[in-house]
Amino acid sequence: MNVPRETRESRAVEPDRRHGLLTAKLTALVTAGWRAGELSEAGRTAVPFPGAAGLLAGGTGWVLVEDAPARALGPALLWAGRAGVDRLHVLVEAEAGRLARRATTFARAPRVWQVRGRAVTLATPEPIGPAPRLGAETSGWVDQLRAAGAEPVVEAGVLTGEVLGLEVARVVSDAEGSRLEVGVGKHDRHAQRIMGGDVPTQAALVAAVAAVREHRRAGAPHHPLNRLASERWLRAVVVERPAQVGAAHLAPVPSLVGRDDLRQHAPAPAAGVDGRGRPLLVVCSTGIDLDLVPAAADARLADGRGPRLVLVVPECDDHPVHRSLSALLVEPAEVRTVPDDWRSRASLP
């Protein structure tokens, strides 16, 4: 993605000056793009918005988001609630179509605007396309992953092997065909290619699975292998024991939130049915994630069955913002907690 020059420059300055630049930019966009009557009710007031800029005029609010625009909706809705905003406008330079789609899931849907230079246009909700299918050659690696103790997972047309939610291998396809690369994340896979060329792939995979299981257990010393992708670890536990969240059966489903780094947090969905056979979508998260509710509502759209939506978090992460944002949905989600010792509830082979 090409980042506009003015955006690159604003990111390079100190926070206070950058905030001033963003506020000035938002003021110019709003002044040029909205009717004077909508602005003159109570004048314009700049209201702090972390990592972005916010303006108020009467019951109308505007926010201009540069950092992580795909995650802007949750923070913007919370800001609007605290500021007493009745009509919310979210302005972004990227991810406008995705945000517009997510906005439709809220009862008082904010309007999302695409910023191009000095102009703004109303964003059209981006449709959710069909999931890419695995090729026959790629699918052939599924049995090899399972034989080593890794769970095959398909997202965005890519096959990976996970151990308690953590990726340990990935099938890579190029002009030379498909191959299984072992490693926790892209950097470890690169290192394995350089340093472990003489180790058979299956042996390297078995060793990686064992190493992750050793660290990914209750009571293990702090280590990167038990800090990465904790939300997917929680999903693995819930899938194994679905009754603890009111489900009869659950299976992981692809997330619409792309990740190019295992350190990035992304709510982890699992689809199934409840005890009465009704469609159910469970979305797992850890920590306080303001993107949890918008991402989960988006996952419900992708599900297509109109399922009941349940958000699952550890007891220590049951923050009021999750419940307040859930209540704003057209179809509010239920928040369920699991005990803080949830890591001890995953079975080991």
| The pLDDT value given to residue 178 | 84
Q: What digits encode the pLDDT tens for the residues 283-296?
A: 999 999 999 999 99
Is 317 within 8 Å of 285 (Cβ atoms)? Answer: yes
136 band by pLDDT with thresholds 50, 70 and 90: confident
Average pLDDT over residues 52-76: 92
Please work out, in degrees rounded to the nearest 5, the angle formed at the alpha carbon of residue 265 by the alpha carbons of 264 and 267.
Answer: 145
348 band by pLDDT with thresholds 50, 70 and 90: very low
213: Cβ contacts below 8 Å, ≥ 6 apart: 149, 163, 164, 348, 349
Average pLDDT over residues 4-30: 73
Query: In the predicted model, is pLDDT for residue 93 greater than 80?
Result: yes
Query: In the predicted model, is pLDDT for residue 125 greater than 70?
Result: yes
Please tell me the distance from the alpha carbon of residue 203 to that of residue 192, in angstroms, as a whole number.
12
Residue-averaged pLDDT of the chain:
88
Query: In the predicted model, is pLDDT for residue 5 greater than 60?
Result: no
Query: In the predicted model, is pLDDT for residue 43 greater than 90?
Result: no
- At 85 the three-state DSSP class reads coil
8 band by pLDDT with thresholds 50, 70 and 90: low
Query: In the predicted model, is pLDDT for residue 324 greater than 60?
Result: yes
Is 110 within 8 Å of 102 (Cβ atoms)? Answer: no
| The pLDDT value given to residue 1 | 41
